[in-house]
Amino acid sequence: MRRLAIVVALACALVPIGASAQSDVAAQVSTAVANALGTDTARVSLDPTGDLTVSFTIRNLDNDPQATRDGALSDTLAVLRAIYGSPGADVRTATVLGTFPFQGTKSPGVRPTPVLRAVLSADRARNVDWQSSAPAELPTLVDTWWLQSAFADVGSQTANPDSPMAVAIAHLDESLAALDTGEVRVGRSQFTQFFDAWDDVSDAVGQRFPAEYNSIDVDLERAEVALLHTQPEDVATARNALTELRATLAQVSADLE
């Protein structure tokens, strides 16, 4: 009987959210995030399993790098507080992406690029004291934390190099979030920028994880055809391929780094 109860509990936890309830939760969180940031420009998407993604634009505070970085951390904490402080928000995990106009090393021009990524699960969020937590504590509060080196090392003489895999995953998260909210142009741009980081790590993945690399290659081709070589874009196929790609990269990233 105990084993049956555990199986039933696990099954209930994995039941997909209905489309109507999913839309209601996303709208509720979107309102809470807008109130927390003082702007309604953040993109909010929720998939059927309860994984939420919020993408917001980091504010350039008087061209002061330190103030801009500190503001980004403060806004990230405010977003997470808004998500898990929303009554009835049925969220399993929350991914917060901060974007900033950034000059890539391989792509011409300046484009909005993910420079901050925080992932916090509902289980871990239950143990966070939202009233006393400070922005500087974010790296230890969340399950996954990544900050682009230009932001992380403001004021430092030497910058720590970014992990190409972390950058690649951040671009995929941003692309998926954009596709979920109907911003196909942004989704295409972020997917294109993904390759800048992927080129730096693909050989290592192929050597150490040949089976996973083959899966990644298949999903990349599916996404590329659907998103970059089909008119109008096949968003559903692209999203499915990017979701599978994202899962595989997350699987190998811990061992790779």
At 37-96, the pLDDT tens digits run 998 889 998 888 888 999 999 998 888 888 889 999 999 999 999 999 877 667 899 999
Let me know whether 72 and 178 are in one domain.
no
pLDDT of residue 163: 76
Residue (of 22, 37, 59, 53) closest to 175 by Cα position: 53
The answer to whether the beta carbons of residues 176 and 45 sit under 8 Å apart is: yes
Domain membership of residue 31 (yes or no) is: yes
Domain membership of residue 251 (yes or no) is: yes
Return the higher-pLDDT residue of 160 and 125: 125
pLDDT digits (tens, 9 = 90+) for 203-218: 999 999 999 999 999 9
Report how far residue 39's alpha carbon sits from residue 164's, in angstroms, rounded to the nearest whole number. Answer: 31
Let me know whether 204 and 244 are in one domain.
yes
Helix (H, G, I), strand (E, B) or coil at 79: helix
Let me know whether 41 and 129 are in one domain.
yes
pLDDT of residue 49: 83
What total of structural domains would you count in the chain? 2
Let me know whether 136 and 204 are in one domain.
no
Q: Flag whether pLDDT at 167 surpasses 80.
A: yes
Confidence of residue 152 (pLDDT cuts 50, 70, 90): low
Residue (of 210, 220, 212, 217) closest to 241 by Cα position: 220
Confidence of residue 178 (pLDDT cuts 50, 70, 90): confident
Confidence of residue 151 (pLDDT cuts 50, 70, 90): low
Domain end marker among 152, 183, 217: 152
pLDDT of residue 150: 63
pLDDT digits (tens, 9 = 90+) for 82-137: 999 877 667 899 999 999 886 555 555 667 788 899 999 999 999 999 999 999 99
Domain end marker among 120, 152, 184: 152
Let me know whether 92 and 48 are in one domain.
yes
Domain membership of residue 71 (yes or no) is: yes
Domain membership of residue 7 (yes or no) is: no
Domain membership of residue 198 (yes or no) is: yes
Report how far residue 179's alpha carbon sits from residue 182's, in angstroms, rounded to the nearest whole number. Answer: 5
pLDDT of residue 76: 97
Confidence of residue 31 (pLDDT cuts 50, 70, 90): very high
Let me know whether 67 and 109 are in one domain.
yes
Confidence of residue 5 (pLDDT cuts 50, 70, 90): very low
Q: For residue 143, give its domain range.
A: 18-152
Domain membership of residue 127 (yes or no) is: yes
pTM (2 d.p.): 0.69
